[in-house]
Structure 1
Amino acid sequence: MLGTVITTAAATVVATPAAGLLAQRGLLRARNARLIRITDPRGIDEQYLTPIGGIDQWLSIRGDDISNPVLLELHGGPGSVNSIFTARTRAWEKHFTLVRWDMRGAGKTLRHGGAEGQGEVSFERLHRDALEVIHHVRTRLGVQRVVLLGHSFGSVFGLRIARSHPELLSAYVGTDQNILDDGRDNSAYFDVIERLREAGKKKELTTVEAMGPDARSWTAEQHSLYHRYSAATDPQTLGALKSVVMKSLWYSPLHSLRDLGTFFRGMKLSAQVVLTITGSDDWADGTRFEVPFFLFQGAQDMITPPERAHRFFDDVHAPVKDFALIDDAGHFAAFKHPDRFLDLLLTRVRPALDTVGAF
């Protein structure tokens, strides 16, 4: 849902002379390549394409000890892959076998097959792909269950999988958690209106007011504009886009210059997926989960407000559940403060896995 915003933020990061920028990029990519190196004989470091949903899709499996619990991420966007954060989250791999998947229409999956080779790019297709990825990972790593980490847009079908397939999961963890309610709560829309008014953004204010508060009636372009204006008036999210997302992409040792272009094409290609979920209702779909359930949200998140996530959390029935705020963070809280997020995984999620014998 933030593709247009990330594209806009890119201009700020690369607004320095090209020669100096490329030299700095080379140095920092080399440093990050050393940082992410896995040398423990018990470890795993694999990146490969495998058939998922009828097309080849890209997976990364990394960790210092193959006996650790498996943590499978569902990235956001749609189309904004998490493989760019490998260097920032290196410490996670000391405690979990971390699986990252570039969904159809995104990242290295898109680069390999091209836009014409992605097939159907829809919410339902991505949901089926996610289930197939889980089965693939279980077989490849010889585990019964995985911890599912839903991030931003990925948390939408993360919730669905956690409800309907508890036999595949040892726990569900949501961050930047999207909670859908079929349009009942439009407070975030009016918050954007107020921030635009306070900032004196008259043109943008007129545009958002003309859209109206019912997101179910917006076009894909209107969704992109709304999220652009929402992030642009939120210092926490805009700062994270520049200092966390864009710099992670630019200095990623796993991503070439060609991959950078694919990153932005993926978000453009995937933008239409948002239209297929605006009428969804997580309360109506159910608040009973048969797996340990965790939400870790940025305390200042204006894109996926923690207040809405907490209202849903209060109604959740699960064997174990916990909610935590990450201070000094908006959207992308897990990647702005990966050390704090890891602490939550170790002190709250990992004990629940031990209690239920889930890995």
Structure 2
Amino acid sequence: MPGLLRPLPFVFIAIMAALPALALADPPFTQQTARDIIAASHKVVSPHGVQELKTIDVNGTKQWISVRGNDTRNPILLFIHGGPASPDMPLSYTFQQPWEDFFTVVQWDQRGAGKTYRANDPKAVEAGMTVEQMTSDATAVVQYLRKTYGKRKIFVIGHSWGSILGLNLAHQHPELLYAYIGVGQMIDMPKNEAEVYRFAMEQAKSHQNQKAIDALKALGTYPNPSRPVTLQEIGVVRQWSSAYGGLTFGRDGFNYDADAWQLAPEYDDEDISAIGKGSKFSLDHLLPLLMNYRFANGMTFECPVFLFEGRHDETVPENIAADWFKTVKAPAKELVWFEDSAHMVMQEQSGRFLDHLVHDARPYAVEAGDAAPADIVEH
């Protein structure tokens, strides 16, 4: 027993050494204090690492990226966020840090989103708010990363809306990718919206929620093929599908994520304000284009394709992507189910998510010699 207690004095010595500084530092604890603490705890200190937050030129616009990893010899993983205009850069501190042992991870604020929305005159970029232009933006970001960090290929994750850009990129430029990973993969928007509405109404009736039933019934036929779906209508459907766990399994909304934005080290108050402004701007331009967007069955890809799907996703219903995936041809493909997740899979089951990234996807880069040497274990 004495042997077990021996290390404790060294712990107490370290704590006691810090107490004078703690006693002297008595400013109010602020939002910025919390950001600074998170930034310090997430600082990349590895001698082979990289930590950069910067703007790059993307098709004539300034677009923000965050590049983080503990070893630049590892493969690059580009995360294409959802929304439209719902950036994951201010959420990445909640799930990404373990990824950085195995990948150099890039978060990108797309045209019209977050920090990038703030960095550009909206009138100068609105003509480019199309699926085609933003797919071209994604391609330009991949090319920048390859050239800047000396990589022949990279990995791409497309989440939700970002999975439209990611899947287009994988189909058009497979030579740039080790593999594409779709998370909450969007395939058929009319089917998507009909399924989300069905789920929300079914749950509302099951819970005898008359307020929800009335709000959903007031929409009439949804989606209505004779006219465009409005942002207000989508908001009503998403309000109630999220309330019953369709966004995050076991949670009744998105506040836990929206609150997390407030502490993001990469974002200041004006950046956070830009999220909402950018979302309204982006949806005004993209929503009419998206509501009839479909990927055809039987598509052929020339790079490996993975789908990481939450079993309870009722934001982008998983069964639509699963049925489509059966028809896909690719040199390798795999559908991975996350049984305790809905739409926010990378946060809901972050450990399993990383496990599949490392053991299913990363070997393609390892085989190409694009990975840091494995840790050496001596016995």
Interval containing the TM-score (normalised by the shorter chain): 0.7 to 0.9
Q: Which residue of 2 aligns with 1:323?
A: 335
How many angstroms does 1:86 deviate by?
2.8
Residues in 1 aligned to 2:193 and 2:213: alpha-carbon distance in whole angstroms: 25
Unaligned runs of 5+ in 2: 1-27, 372-379
Contact 1:192–1:229, Cα closer than 8 Å, also in 2: yes
Q: Say whether residues 1:162 and 2:178 are aligned partners.
A: no
Q: Which residue of 2 aligns with 1:66?
A: 72
Tell me which of 41, 47, 54 is aligned to 1:41: 47
Give the length in aligned residue pairs: 336
Greater CA drift, 298-307 or 165-174? 298-307
- What percent identity do the matched residue pairs reach? 29
Distance 1:131 1:235, change over 3 A: closer
Greater CA drift, 118-127 or 250-259? 118-127
Contact 1:178–1:309, Cα closer than 8 Å, also in 2: yes
- Aligned pairs for 1:204-243 within 5 A: 204-212=215-223, 214=225, 217-234=228-245, 237=248, 238-239=251-252, 241-243=254-256
Contact 1:156–1:178, Cα closer than 8 Å, also in 2: yes
3-state DSSP class of the match of 1:203? helix
- Aligned pairs for 1:177-188 within 5 A: 177-180=185-188, 183=191, 186-188=194-196
Q: Which residue of 2 aligns with 1:15?
A: none
Q: Deviations over 1:43-100 (max 9, x none)?
A: 1111111211211111111111111011011110000001012322111111101111
How many angstroms does 1:146 deviate by?
1.1
- Aligned pairs for 1:163-312 within 5 A: 163-180=171-188, 183=191, 186-198=194-206, 199-200=209-210, 201-212=212-223, 214=225, 217-234=228-245, 237=248, 238-239=251-252, 241-243=254-256, 245-272=257-284, 273-284=286-297, 286-312=298-324
Residues in 1 aligned to 2:276 and 2:204: alpha-carbon distance in whole angstroms: 26
Q: Which residue of 2 aligns with 1:5?
A: none
Looking at CA atoms only, which structure, 1 or 2, has the larger radius of gyration?
A: 2
Residues in 2 aligned to 1:153 and 1:80: alpha-carbon distance in whole angstroms: 9
TM-score normalised by the chain length of structure 1? 0.86
Unaligned runs of 5+ in 1: 1-21
Counterpart code for 1:222: E
Contact 2:346–2:353, Cα closer than 8 Å, also in 1: yes
How many angstroms does 1:235 deviate by?
6.2
Greater CA drift, 145-154 or 251-260? 251-260
Contact 1:92–1:342, Cα closer than 8 Å, also in 2: yes
How many angstroms does 1:27 deviate by?
4.4
Distance 1:312 1:211, change over 3 A: closer
- Taking only aligned residues, the RMSD between alpha carbons, in angstroms, comes to 2.4
Greater CA drift, 211-220 or 190-199? 211-220
Distance 1:215 1:277, change over 3 A: farther
3-state DSSP class of the match of 1:56? strand
Contact 1:292–1:352, Cα closer than 8 Å, also in 2: no
Residues in 2 aligned to 1:85 and 1:215: alpha-carbon distance in whole angstroms: 38
Contact 1:183–1:216, Cα closer than 8 Å, also in 2: no
Residues in 1 aligned to 2:223 and 2:55: alpha-carbon distance in whole angstroms: 43
Q: Which residue of 2 aligns with 1:7?
A: none
How many angstroms does 1:236 deviate by?
5.4
- Aligned pairs for 1:341-356 within 5 A: 341-355=353-367
Residues in 1 aligned to 2:227 and 2:100: alpha-carbon distance in whole angstroms: 39
Residues in 1 aligned to 2:237 and 2:292: alpha-carbon distance in whole angstroms: 17
Q: Deviations over 1:125-182 (max 9, x none)?
A: 2111111111111111111111010011000121111112111111000111112266
Residues in 1 aligned to 2:219 and 2:197: alpha-carbon distance in whole angstroms: 9
Q: Deviations over 1:215-249 (max 9, x none)?
A: 97313332333323322333653546222x22321
3-state DSSP class of the match of 1:60? strand
Distance 1:212 1:43, change over 3 A: closer
Distance 1:268 1:39, change over 3 A: same
Q: Say whether residues 1:334 and 2:342 are aligned partners.
A: no
